[in-house]
Amino acid sequence: MPISELMAGFASALTPANLLACFLGAFLGTVTGVLPGIGPAAAMSLLLPVTFGLPPATSLIMLAGIFYGAMYGGSTTSILLNMPGETASMVTCFDGYQMAKKGRAGAALAVSAIGSWVAGTASIVGLMLFAPTLAKAALVLGPAEYFGLALLGVLVLNNLTGDSFLKATAMLLIGLMISTVGPDIISGASRFSFGNQDLMDGIDVIPVLMGLFGLSEVFVGIKEKAAAAEVCKVKFRDLYPTRAEVSRSIWPILRGTAIGFPIGLLPGPAHILSTFISYRIEKGASSHPEEFGHGAIEGVAGPESANNAASTGAMVPLFALGLPFTVQAAIMISALRTHGINPSPLLISQHPEIFWAVIASMYMGNVMLLILNLPLVGVFASLIKTPPPVLLPVITVIMVIGSYSLNGSVFDVWMLLLFGMVGYAMKWVGYPSVPLIIGLVLGPLFEESMMQSLVLARGDLSFFLHRPIATGIFTLTLLVVLWGLVGRSARKAVRGLSVEDGAEMV
């Protein structure tokens, strides 16, 4: 246990400049997390030029703070308004919002903050102790393995909310189709762009997510007029979780941490995927799965811990290998480059003062965020009391700004509006939006790794069999599919009923 280095790190992290940078980063991260449409990547790139004048450790401390801070704040609007503040908080909407409707908003927010803190702190320990080993292990995964994981993900995660299997699959396929709009990875040829310059780069996830979940909720709120905000007096006791709720959350938090951290090591939308997987696992592990979707606190505790663990896990390849696997990590790498530090596996040994200062500040940042978020639970919970005619337009404006800020393009705003209407229509007709997002998020990884695998295989499918990990993943996928099919027919036989569209896939 590298105690002396850690102490040196704390000494450095506790200097006024670094403390301020940590607080600023954490605060900004929370704010960007809370605001729907504006994510940590946007805030980090905006602040990147500011970091040029700061010492390297301070820059990283601030940028890292924004990254994990956003994972704290994202759940706020998810719980209170059924609108994800951040892509990784989408899953929190399912049960968090239901809890809020039952008057348990404070409990949900508090559990979310506590889970985030536990996950954040535990994963920093992992980062500190195991970074180089884990990073090397992660390198083994290649296109074949990622393809397997993407396929498994698509099959296992498509029906998180337990809706009609056919409807969920249809939406998943549409999401996958939308993800193919844009440049082909091999030739760079643009697909489905219809000559439109904006479509040439593809359709961003964030406006689609904000539209499907956020804007459609706004439309629902408008339709239901003032009836929506029937707020019972929120007693102080109601602001915090009951003992039962806390004890129910312990295992989900621990599981979320354990799941999120390794997923953060993988390239791609790790923090989003970690929430999906955590939710799936919690549903499976729960003794009352029927509660999920109606206010099960495990559905909030697990995913919120997972996304924090994943965001810290994403820093493992950054520090241990000098390679960024996510957009946010890439921004941190550019910050290092402008200071003349070339990120590499030698980073930790050549610049231990930077690594340990950042580690120490992450511990502190997580504590700061817990302190920031817990008391604010009351403040946030009372946000619901704002009359919808005021709240809804404000949220809409924030989402529009967030969408525009992605690329400085009005096109993303049009996407927001389009998918807002699509989302509303889907709610009306009873089609789930979640699978569409899963398709959109997993699509690029799925397609790219599939193409890369096929190129490497050169037409010989036994390529996959020569790779034990990939074979293992594909076998698992096959088993999951068979289990699902067998499970359905088994239940059919037991109940003696005919298969309806409403039958739930395992």
Q: Which is nearer to another protein, 14 or 451 (CB)?
A: 451
- State in angstroms the smallest separation of the CB of 209 from another protein: 20
- Binding residues (CB under 8 A) for another protein: these are 45-46, 48-49, 139-143, 183, 185-190, 197-198, 200-201, 267, 317, 321-325, 330-331, 334-335, 337-340, 342-347, 407-409, 444, 448, 451-452, 455-456, 458
φ, ψ for residue 183, nearest 5 deg: -70, 140
Closest CA relative to residue 303, chosen from 477, 93, 152: 93
- State in angstroms the smallest separation of the CB of 140 from another protein: 5
Q: Which is nearer to another protein, 70 or 381 (CB)?
A: 70
219, 240, 422, 494 from 290: Cα distances, Å: 28, 24, 28, 20
φ, ψ for residue 190, nearest 5 deg: -90, 135
- State in angstroms the smallest separation of the CB of 254 from another protein: 30
- State in angstroms the smallest separation of the CB of 445 from another protein: 10
DSSP H stretches of helix in 140-242: 143-157, 165-179, 205-209, 216-224
- State in angstroms the smallest separation of the CB of 25 from another protein: 16
Q: Which is nearer to another protein, 5 or 198 (CB)?
A: 198
Closest CA relative to residue 205, chosen from 399, 37, 387: 37
- State in angstroms the smallest separation of the CB of 147 from another protein: 12
How many Cβ atoms are within 10 Å of 441's Cβ, its own excluded? 24
- State in angstroms the smallest separation of the CB of 450 from another protein: 12
- State in angstroms the smallest separation of the CB of 410 from another protein: 11
Residue 360 in tokens = 């120490």
Q: Which is nearer to another protein, 328 or 361 (CB)?
A: 328
Q: Which is nearer to another protein, 201 or 291 (CB)?
A: 201
Q: DSSP labels for 249-295?
A: HHHHHHHHHHHHHHHHTSSSSHHHHHHHHHHHHHHHH-S-GGGTTS-
Q: DSSP labels for 416-434?
A: HHHHHHHHHHHHHHT--SH
Residue 224 in tokens = 């239901």
Closest CA relative to residue 348, chosen from 339, 358, 338, 340: 358
- State in angstroms the smallest separation of the CB of 311 from another protein: 18
Q: Which is nearer to another protein, 191 or 288 (CB)?
A: 191
Report the distance separating Cα 402 and Cα 456, nearest Å: 39
211, 219, 414, 431 from 409: Cα distances, Å: 16, 24, 9, 29
- State in angstroms the smallest separation of the CB of 96 from another protein: 32
The 10 Å CB-count burial string (b at 16+, else e) for 9-28 is bbebbeeeebbebbbbbbbb
183: β partners = 190
Q: Which is nearer to another protein, 229 or 469 (CB)?
A: 469
Contact 75, 92 (CB under 8 A): yes
- State in angstroms the smallest separation of the CB of 336 from another protein: 10
Q: Which is nearer to another protein, 23 or 147 (CB)?
A: 147
Q: Which is nearer to another protein, 88 or 318 (CB)?
A: 318
Q: Which is nearer to another protein, 266 or 301 (CB)?
A: 266
Q: Which is nearer to another protein, 304 or 448 (CB)?
A: 448
91, 249, 345 from 424: Cα distances, Å: 18, 32, 48
How many Cβ atoms are within 10 Å of 240's Cβ, its own excluded? 16
Contact 304, 70 (CB under 8 A): no
Which residues, at least 6 apart from 394, have a Cβ–Cβ distance to it below 8 Å? none
Q: Which is nearer to another protein, 161 or 452 (CB)?
A: 452
Q: DSSP labels for 456-499?
A: HHTT-THHHHT-HHHHHHHHHHHHHHHHHHHHHHHHHHHHTPPP
Pairing of strands 190-191, 182-183: antiparallel
- State in angstroms the smallest separation of the CB of 470 from another protein: 11
182: β partners = 191
